[in-house]
Chain A
Amino acid sequence: MQSDIRKELLDAFTNAGESYLSGQHLADLIGCSRTAVWKHVEELRKEGFELEAIRRKGYRIIKTPEKIIPDEIRLGLKTGFVGKNIYYEDCIDSTQKAAQRLAYDQVPEGTVVIAEEQTAGRGRMNRKWHSPKYTGIWMSLILRPNIPLSKAPQLTLLTAVSIVQAIEDLTNLHTEIKWPNDILINGKKVTGILTELQAESDRIHSIIIGMGINVNQTVDDFPIELQSIASSLLIEKGESIPRAALIKSIFTYFEKLYLLYLEEGFLPIKLLWESYAISIGKIITARTLTGALKGKALGITDDGVLQIEDQEGKIHHIYSADIELN
């Protein structure tokens, strides 16, 4: 019933175009009270619509939210399994948590959870991931690869490569990867990837890859403390990017690389990763729980492990760290 009123309301605004519709007119049209109309207008505002209200004239919609419509992703998607099964949520605690629950329920490989907004989006070490409504791509992909558990971290590098390819394809922006899988444009972070594993002993049950991509945020959408280190595709490109198209492109690139990886191993992925790597050959600082290590980034091993040469010429293997470019 409620959705019927919503639909009629949206239809009315669509037909009205640029003109204003009074509350009374809308109430008569839909067959409800003016209070009910007002309530629905407030609901629309909460969902990201911008409505202008002028006394004696009424309402008109001046900006619609750019929702991701799952059907828009499905339309023309040519993958075999990645993104074939989409769970779409308007608002969710975290797509990772939802995907974990789904993974236990044996959903097919390639299932994706997409949310317009996350209230508890997380990054590394449970750091908060800022994911405001209708601006970014907040999604989690469920995989069930038949690979040794010890190889699983390589998939995080593979994911970064697929997103870079999709972004470059759609925007022509020069996009780089900071080890292991942060995606930067002009030195600012536009994407974070966090992967979680469900396993029993040595057997992988599922791998859940969480992706947070800043697409259409404006500078003001970022908290002050992030404005110097984070950016969005819109800010870098100067125009908004259709999110559904980007998602479709990521699915396509990801599946291609993933199948290549399962067939031929990490080497071809490593070569691609290195071609986008920002830190190789540069002096960097790797910060871990136990301290900081400064040195020259030599490259990654065949397993994706970062090698740093310190001032004494000793080579360190880094498995986990926050990397700072000096």
Chain B
Amino acid sequence: MLKIQEIREIIKLIDQSAIDEFVFEHEGSKIQMKKNVVSNVTAVKPITQVVESVPVNVQAVQTPVQAVQQIQVEEMKQEVKAAENANLHKITSPMVGTFYASPSPDADNYVKVGSKVSNDSIVCIVEAMKLFNEIEAEVNGEIVEILVKNGQLIEYGQPLFLVKPE
């Protein structure tokens, strides 16, 4: 089975060449590439991702026994996200209690996805036994995900928000 880097290399070479169509068969796997056809990027497992902005269209077809699988765009996104997650800052709860997204039920939420926060921005309140703890972002950045719901009981150390640091 070819590695993604190897496929990329082939794409690059074919793109720079005068070849219109390329078929490669090896140990039951088949890769087929065509230039200037309808854009439909597919690949076979386990070669799932060929993400290159090249003017070729890649078709990799496995043996007829196995179904051809489309590259799952979502899967790609998830992988990209997972890679990004490693760089995201988690705002966690310092205590057990109830999560409130706003200062009172009829008020606007402190933050939403896309909100810019700075170190001392209040992002939510955690309450236990009528003790209200205003949680600060403690990071400069942008809220990319809110992980809990208004009124939800949260645990000590539970992640509440993901922030992309700036």
Contact = CB atoms under 8 A, between A and B. Distances in A.
Q: Are these two chains actual partners, yes or no?
A: yes
Interface of A: 124-127, 149-150, 152-157, 180-181, 193-202, 207, 288-290, 304-305, 319-320
Contacts of B105: 125, 289
B151 A289 contact: yes
B157 to A, nearest CB: 10
Contacts of B132: 194-197
Contacts of A288: 98, 151
Given A289-B150, A319-B96, A150 B156 contact: yes
B117 to A, nearest CB: 15
B12 to A, nearest CB: 49
Interface in B114-136: 127-134, 136
Chain B at the A interface: SS class: loop
A126 B103 contact: yes
Given A156-B131, A200-B138, A202-B94, 14 more contacts: A150-B95, A153-B97, A153-B128, A153-B129, A181-B130, A196-B132, A288-B151, A289-B150, A290-B151, A305-B129, A319-B153, A320-B97, A320-B98, A320-B127
22 contacts: A125-B104, A126-B104, A149-B95, A150-B156, A152-B131, A153-B129, A155-B131, A193-B130, A194-B132, A195-B132, A196-B133, A197-B132, A197-B134, A200-B136, A201-B94, A202-B94, A289-B98, A304-B129, A319-B96, A319-B98, A320-B98, A320-B130
A127 B128 CA distance: 17
Given A200-B138, A319-B153, A194 B130 contact: yes
A319 B129 contact: yes
A199 B105 CA distance: 24
B152 interface: yes
A154 B151 CA distance: 21
B118 to A, nearest CB: 14
Contacts of B103: 126
B107 interface: yes
A315 B89 CA distance: 36
Interface in B132-163: 132-134, 136, 138, 150-153, 156
Contacts, number: 81
Contacts of B156: 150
A150 B96 contact: yes
A153 B134 contact: no
Contacts of A180: 129-130
B130 A319 contact: no
Task: Sort A-B residue pairs by CB-CB distance and give the 5 closest, nearest first.
Answer: A289-B151, A126-B104, A153-B129, A180-B129, A320-B98
Please indicate which of the listed interface residues B100, B131, B150 has the most CB atoms of chain A within 10 Å of its own CB. Answer: B131
Candidate in B94, B100, B105 with the most chain A CB atoms within 10 angstroms: B94
A320 B150 contact: no
B151 A197 contact: no
Contacts of B128: 153, 305, 319-320
A127 B129 CA distance: 16
A197 B131 contact: yes
B128 to A, nearest CB: 4
A86 to B, nearest CB: 23
A261 B132 CA distance: 20
Contact of B130 (A150, A195, A200): A195
Nearest to A123: B130
A181 B105 CA distance: 21
Among the interface residues B95, B98, B150, which one has the most CB atoms of the partner chain A within 10 A? B95
Contact of A290 (B94, B97, B107, B152): B152
Contacts of A198: 134
Nearest to A193: B130
Contacts of A194: 130, 132
Contacts of A125: 104-105
Contacts of B107: 126
B152 to A, nearest CB: 7
Contacts of B151: 288-290
